[in-house]
Chain A
């Protein structure tokens, strides 16, 4: 009975593509629903890429604005809505990063992460916060072409094929970049972990002393 109800529920939930079709017909509710579903992906992609919440806001806004103003840009035969939105967001982010290259602050994102952690209320441990912050900084410190592939494959959980479609490159390129990016991240995080454990040892030694 429950399984049958689930099937009925799933059937009644419109897909992203159906929402886009309705939005093109002027259905604002469909647009609102699509925004609710997908704006987080777009926003977080931009935030991970730039480390700047206000820029991520702008990117999210421009991405959805591009969808409603340029309906010809979206071709449902070429892929799903989420990769399309992330592709638009990627272009926006890269353009902005090239414009603002001299100044990319890192610390603003720290506050954003804290806000997210506070909202969820799951992170009471400061060590965990530090670890998450270290991971975020490590990702943000990657070169753009490695950063975007880590964000798409690891943080947005896109497949290699979808990532390749978004980045307009071959799947093999995605794999090799991800492999290299993970190696860099592992090295950075392991080094940070070693330093952290060393400082913990020093602290405890001082404490005992």
Chain B
């Protein structure tokens, strides 16, 4: 063993650390022959003794009593917090679920409206004449006369629920394109009573269908489609029809 190797082991020997017995024996044998290494070993042993004396002198040093008091209070507060927070968490969770449900119920009608087709029949004021004709026909028990129904010149207003009513009313009527319509042609195969819930529905038909009602048809455009308003009774059956251009 040389001095360098001894130097690496001197500390462990002085500290009585577990080490290889052979290496320890060799190191001690080297120290007995080398004066410098012997001094080194003594210095290491003095240091170990000094450090152990420091440990011995300070082994009873402890933290002040206030530390335990604070920790004890902290432990108690933690216990209280655990007891009180767990039900609170349930309350918060239940509240959150309830709020979500309320929100869903509040939004559900709006979402449904958005999903519905955007066209709904117009309100009464736009076709008040037709309604009056329907009412008369209802009272008399006959089909509405085409003359009465002719006065319904305006296109049935289509209400989009995505638009606000205010915006609809603010639109000037003159800006809407005018439509030319034929008179209402009664459909004789149905019950002449239209009922109280008569509705008018805009449909598209082949232009050739006009010929069935005795209207002139340009055969060059026979394959094209033409718009028509069908007056439906409360039972859903068509009572009259008019063609619109």
Residues of A at the B interface (CB closer than 8 Å) are 26, 28, 31-32, 35, 39-40, 42-44, 47-48, 53, 56-57, 60-61, 64-65, 68-69, 112-113, 115-117, 119-120, 122-123, 128, 131-132, 135-136, 139, 150, 154-155, 157, 178-179, 182, 185-186, 189-190
> In the complex, which residues of chain A have a beta carbon less than 8 angstroms from the beta carbon of B62?
39-40, 43
Q: Give the dominant DSSP class at B's interface.
A: helix
The answer to whether A132 touches B11 (Cβ under 8 A) is no
Q: How far is A77 from B45 in the complex, measured between Cα atoms in Å? A: 36
The answer to whether A186 touches B75 (Cβ under 8 A) is no
B148 contacts chain A at the CB level, 8 A cutoff: no
5 A-B pairs besides A40-B59, A44-B58, A113-B58 with CB distance below 8 A are A31-B71, A64-B71, A155-B51, A155-B54, A189-B46
Q: How far is A135 from B57 in the complex, measured between Cα atoms in Å? A: 11
The CB with the most chain B CB atoms within 10 A, among A115, A154, A155, is that of A154
B68 contacts chain A at the CB level, 8 A cutoff: yes
The answer to whether A132 touches B78 (Cβ under 8 A) is no
> In the complex, which residues of chain B have a beta carbon less than 8 angstroms from the beta carbon of A120?
57, 60
> In the complex, which residues of chain B have a beta carbon less than 8 angstroms from the beta carbon of A185?
47, 51
Would you list which residues of chain B between 46 and 76 have a CB under 8 Å from chain A? 46-48, 50-51, 53-64, 66-68, 70-72, 74-76
> In the complex, which residues of chain B have a beta carbon less than 8 angstroms from the beta carbon of A57?
63-64, 66-67
List 15 A-B pairs, Cβ < 8 Å. Answer: A31-B71, A35-B71, A43-B67, A44-B58, A65-B74, A68-B71, A68-B74, A68-B78, A113-B57, A120-B60, A122-B56, A135-B53, A154-B55, A155-B51, A179-B11
Query: Closest residue of chain B to A117, judged by CB?
Result: B57
Q: How far is A154 from B75 in the complex, measured between Cα atoms in Å? A: 33
